[in-house]
Amino acid sequence: MKNMKRYRLIILFCLCFLAVANVNAQNDWQVPAKENENLSPFLFDDDMILEGRISYENSCTSCHGSPGQDDFTPMAPPPGDPASDQFQLQTDGALFHKIKMGRGTMPKFEDAFADDELWNLIAYIRSFNKDYKQELPNMEGVVIPEYSMKLSFDENIDKLVVKVFANEEAQAEVGVTAYVMGTFGKFLVGKAQTNQLGIAYLDVDPTMPGDEEGKLNVLVKATKGFARAKMESKMTMVEPTIRKSAIEGRHIWSTDKMAPVWLKASFFITIFGVWLVLLVIVIGLRGIKKANEDEA
Ligand code: HEC
């Protein structure tokens, strides 16, 4: 009996120890020192936050919930709320490393997102921390070029052609992203890098709905490190959309065009018949009335 009690105690002790060890293991996500100090080569601006939000909603909300709402999915270890201290007290480099490499249930996003997209996510996560001040890498002696762009559309290859310049000089290896601005938000057209001639080609889906002249409102962004530029332009790129008036063509309520001749004919014959019956009745009633008067 005494032995039994001792066994129970030992088992209980072991369980407690395991639980504590497990919790410790969860919190103890080591990030290599070099990675921990890694800084974003981009300035976290509104554009980055917006892009980060889109990626976050597509890839992270399912587990981490909406930042600041503490509505992350309950699982072990808990994913945590990105607006909480658990996230915010870490360095940008640590967050970058963890999102990129993953651990256990936390997926590895290395292949899903390019580095600049990972930084977008961190810009978004940081937007929930009003005390956050971005630490920038040493920019001494670094000149940030001012980009300008030239857009055209090559209809032979269905590609948007973007040329990036700085001081009239073509810029190579610049990341170019293009969107189509629609009524309900913006749609990604594609991403590409400029070649040695400073030109990037982006595939355009020719089935995209344009306006009556086949024009699309495109937004093009060029980024490389801290250099970034934006340009919006209306360009003819797709087949024109012919908008039909609501009463035109084969709409159900467009009875005139929909109805075959026999249907129209029988409709009018029926109407005519009804009026004819009414007329006969009226004439009949008048006859009765007249007969009455004659009698009196
Ligand atoms: C399938 C669920 C799931 C998805 C999807 C997911 N996470 Fe996680 N995440 C977790 C879990 C679980 C943990 C805790 C992992 C651990 O501690 O071992 C975690 C941990 C993290 C951490 C580290 C938190 C800490 O305490 O150090 C960061 C940062 C993070 N996630 C960011 C993201 C981002 C950004 C995305 C979207 C791109 C994402 N996660 C998508 C489940 C997920």
Measured CA to CA, the distance from residue 165 to residue 224 in angstroms comes to: 12
The closest alpha carbon to 113, from 130, 131, 95, belongs to 95
Give ligand 1 pocket residues (Cβ under 6 A): 26, 29, 59-60, 62-64, 75, 77, 79-80, 86-87, 95, 98-99, 103-107, 109, 121
What's the pLDDT at 16? 47
What's the pLDDT at 7? 65
Q: Residue 121 above 70 pLDDT?
A: yes
How close is the Cα of 77 to the center of ligand 1, in Å? 10
Residue of the nearest CA to atom 40 in ligand 1? 60
Residue of the nearest CA to atom 12 in ligand 1? 79
Which has more pLDDT, 146 or 183? 146
Which has more pLDDT, 16 or 202? 202
Torsion of CA 267, 273, 279, 284, to 10 degrees: -160
Ligand 1 atom closest to Cα of residue 62: 5
Residue of the nearest CA to atom 19 in ligand 1? 79
What's the pLDDT at 20? 47
pLDDT tens track for 75-85: 999 999 999 99
User: Which residues, at least 6 apart from 141, have a Cβ–Cβ distance to it below 8 Å?
Assistant: none
What's the pLDDT at 251? 56
Measured CA to CA, the distance from residue 70 to residue 64 in angstroms comes to: 8
User: Which residues, at least 6 apart from 86, have a Cβ–Cβ distance to it below 8 Å?
Assistant: 80
Which has more pLDDT, 161 or 256? 161
Ligand 1 atom closest to Cα of residue 125: 35
Q: Residue 183 above 80 pLDDT?
A: no
pLDDT tens track for 213-257: 888 899 999 988 778 888 999 988 888 877 666 655 555 555 666
